[in-house]
Structure 1
């Protein structure tokens, strides 16, 4: 009898230990830089909620507002398995993988539906192969549009930004704006408000979503939104460490992929709404709204081809091939 109880106790202890290991192994940490009102947080929350509802012993804990990692410091820990998931503007990691700079190339994306087609193209497959080299994979694809804003003037065409201290989100835009005569200050969108408030920045390029969630309408006089002519589209996916994903059970993987599919559909529809919503927010704050014309857009694109496009092709051995793949998406 004693032997039976000893065996039972040992089995119970082993089960408890295995359960503790399982519980530890199935909590995933997801980091991002935005507030819980931002669309990118909502995308992460959909994935977390859907996975929880699937009942597959998988818990995703979200750390918003840079509470776990700084905005530009998320890709490296993700690739090393120190972070499980992140929603990240991929061009932030352009220093590690220069090909990522193509995900914020001026004028490359025509509209939100075109962005969705880019996400489902050989161009994106090529980028995902580069991510795999870093042990990173995409769960949710998503592009956001954006525009310009400035403290003292409207920015419609290249000459409007000459002489201004300006922030852009990625290398390709910085190259184009420098070509227009701007001085460049590199920083995450989460740092822009303080930089404008303190006089470090005169102008900014960022997404419609960030313009609102970081309340930049409190710091600027004029806003040029993503309207009929949107120059600024940035790929901002939900990424996951590939080894972490591979280590999950098939049921957990299936739950994650189903959740990601639902989140991606939401992301696309919300991205389309964000541009108009940002205009309303700025208008309500009595900020002047400027519109870019076809002529303005063409002037920016001509400048981009001489600066950003040219530099990208020169920097990467496969730069021209990648650019051609992106341009081939109708």
Structure 2
């Protein structure tokens, strides 16, 4: 049986414990070659300003380079500037891309089990999302990704917020007849079941779609809403800062083929720094939830928060639509869903 990536992380970190990483001479690592490429779809950043997802990748790269004494170097390519977003997971699996900060639900067409990473109503708080990684569902996802050729280095969960140009979206009844962008096939199934007309388009096209009325409301992460400045064309915001029915897992992934070619001490260093920047990611995404609400209030929009009762109503619709559809895909999908349901909010 292939060892789980959790097991590998423990073994690697154990091996790392006796090594004086900071200032370690480069001779202890593999000879430095071409920089490892990190690709992602999100906007670039400068210093402490800009999209935190790009900053997380750059922080990871800088820290690994420093601790390896320069033996490991990285180049970060934001905004899908290296390759198209949907091509990244396949490229990782083939070893044609080194690392990607990637919403793994995007790979659901290639590995259908990964659709669980943006399953509406399944994760309703950050605490619940991060609890996956110490439970059976987290171990199963890590093993699945590893078997498919990708090594999870760091995990980030992002809450979804809802920007609307017409009326607020709080309860399922609010979306009836509304043109809305959900962000995943599974979210779309839930929205259709609630009576909305679903519009499918990438997040970087949301501004024009909302501005022209092609879309009435859009659900995406708080960080994306900040980056794409939808407060300029929206009158209402339902935030994800307390609870949400929309949580998306976005791990920093490394090609298994690339990872396994590295010496054990370099593998250990990468896993250790990945665990460290995970905390940075959680703090940054929570800060963006708060900053998003402030930006909308400043622009004159009204802001709202979801309570447990509202989330329960969304979950009930999701269970009978998106969850049911996912579980019917395969025995393994049904097994993963059962595992995830055991991680309570």
Q: What's the TM-score, normalizing by structure 1?
A: 0.88
Q: CA deviation at 1:291?
A: 2.8
Q: Which residue of 2 aligns with 1:205?
A: 219
Q: Which residue of 1 aligns with 2:41?
A: 33
Runs of 4+ in 1 over 6 A off after TM superposition: none
Q: Distance in 1 between matches of 2:199 and 2:246?
A: 17
Q: Which residue of 2 aligns with 1:283?
A: 297
Of 202, 217, 220, the match for 2:234: 220
Give yes or no for the alignment of 1:42 onto 2:55.
yes
Q: CA deviation at 1:226?
A: 1.1
Q: CA deviation at 1:90?
A: 1.0
Q: CA deviation at 1:171?
A: 1.7
Q: Distance in 1 between matches of 2:340 and 2:307?
A: 24
- After superposition, the Cα gap between the structure-2 partners of 1:206 and 1:58, relative to the gap in structure 1 and judged at 3 Å, is same
- After superposition, the Cα gap between the structure-2 partners of 1:87 and 1:210, relative to the gap in structure 1 and judged at 3 Å, is same
- After superposition, the Cα gap between the structure-2 partners of 1:252 and 1:97, relative to the gap in structure 1 and judged at 3 Å, is same
Q: Distance in 2 between matches of 1:187 and 1:139?
A: 29
Which is worse superposed, 240-249 or 64-73? 64-73
Q: Distance in 1 between matches of 2:306 and 2:278?
A: 29
Q: Which residue of 2 aligns with 1:266?
A: 280
Q: What's the TM-score, normalizing by structure 2?
A: 0.85
Q: Distance in 2 between matches of 1:155 and 1:118?
A: 28
- After superposition, the Cα gap between the structure-2 partners of 1:279 and 1:240, relative to the gap in structure 1 and judged at 3 Å, is same
Q: Distance in 2 between matches of 1:70 and 1:241?
A: 17
Residue 102 of structure 1 contacts residue 323 of structure 1 at CA under 8 Å; is this kept in 2? Answer: yes
Q: Distance in 2 between matches of 1:96 and 1:203?
A: 28
Of 313, 316, 323, the match for 2:327: 313
| Match runs of 1:244-259 below 5 Å | 244-259=258-273
Q: CA deviation at 1:225?
A: 0.4
When the two chains are superposed, the root-mean-square deviation of aligned CA atoms in Å is 1.8
Rg comparison, structure with higher value: 1
Q: Distance in 2 between matches of 1:293 and 1:48?
A: 38
Structure 2 residues without counterparts, runs of 5 or longer: 1-29
Which is worse superposed, 244-253 or 231-240? 244-253
Q: Which residue of 1 aligns with 2:13?
A: none
Q: CA deviation at 1:306?
A: 0.9
Q: Distance in 1 between matches of 2:95 and 2:184?
A: 25
Task: Give SS of 2:331's match.
Answer: coil
Which is worse superposed, 226-235 or 150-159? 226-235
